[in-house]
Amino acid sequence: MEPLPAVGSATQPMPAALTITGLTAGYRDVLALDEVSFSVPRGALAALIGPNGAGKSTLLQVLLGVLKPWQGTITVAGHPAGGAGRFGYMPQSSQVDWDFPVTVQDVVAMGRYAHRGPGRRLGAADWAAVEQALVQVGMETLRERAIGALSGGQRQRVFLARALAQEAPILLLDEPASGVDALSEQAIISILQRLAAAGTTIIVATHDLASAAEHFSYVLCLNRRLVAAGPTDTTLTEATLNATYDSRMVLVRVGERLYAVDTGHHG
């Protein structure tokens, strides 16, 4: 099907925080992203959705600079990012080595490491940012605890605090709600919404379509190619979803909540 027209239309006068053009990438010789182009306006809270193997993780890896793209360019606020820009990142819980000997505060402090060059210690301003981030996620009393001794929701909040402490213009989150109870998820989302309102651009890879529809201002629909990108209200339609997931889903609105119901088998 035709890719839907992308982004930045007249309804969004804000400058793009992140622009990706013709991005193609993969592992060894397996193509994972095919000519993906989109841009995300500053202050957007964007849900990155798509089926397993759609390239969501690959896209995050390329943005972080872990994976070199085969082709294409990434610009951050109009400047070439060269693969490794200044991105905050919250990894998927399963990607973290929970047995690594670090405390909650150690992890949050990592958010400030790139602010001080090699051989330089963190300063008062850095520790203030660490403190503020710990308080924001309500982890200040657990700062001395080893990360392996935390519950699922606490674990996510530590990594969110690290991303907050970094004060990066763009935040990338990989499945932040996996392994987390509904209360923690709500807490994470309200922090993200406040951050976005203050001008941080946030991209969240997620499987939760209902949450995407309810809480996110922007969606990026990926299935190796970009299917659609735009404000949630106009972009997250049945047609887009079915093109993204190769499926026959129906969107059902119950009160405020939106549910995607799969009515057929996957292609």
Judged by the rule CB under 8 A, the positions of this chain that interact with another protein are 27-28, 61, 63-66, 84-89, 91, 94-103, 106-107, 110-111, 113-114, 116, 118-119, 121-122, 145-146, 148-149, 162, 166, 168, 172
In the complex, minimum distance from the CB of residue 169 to another protein, in angstroms, rounded to a whole number? 12
In the complex, minimum distance from the CB of residue 83 to another protein, in angstroms, rounded to a whole number? 8
Nearer to another protein, 96 or 249 (CB): 96
| Largest pairwise CA distance in the chain | 58
In the complex, minimum distance from the CB of residue 146 to another protein, in angstroms, rounded to a whole number? 4
Instruction: Supply the angle between the helices 104-113 and 124-136 in degrees, to the nearest 10.
Output: 130
In the complex, minimum distance from the CB of residue 212 to another protein, in angstroms, rounded to a whole number? 22
Nearer to another protein, 98 or 259 (CB): 98
In the complex, minimum distance from the CB of residue 15 to another protein, in angstroms, rounded to a whole number? 22
Contact 122, 102 (CB under 8 A): no
Nearer to another protein, 177 or 213 (CB): 177
Contact 228, 235 (CB under 8 A): yes
**Strand (E) positions, the chain?**
16-27, 30-41, 45-49, 71-76, 79-80, 87-90, 170-174, 201-205, 218-223, 225-231, 249-254, 257-262
Nearer to another protein, 4 or 173 (CB): 173
In the complex, minimum distance from the CB of residue 149 to another protein, in angstroms, rounded to a whole number? 6
Amino acid at 250: V
- HSE, CB side, 13 Å, CA atoms: give it for residue 116: 14
Measured CA to CA, the distance from residue 161 to residue 154 in angstroms comes to 10
Nearer to another protein, 5 or 82 (CB): 82
Contact 218, 7 (CB under 8 A): no
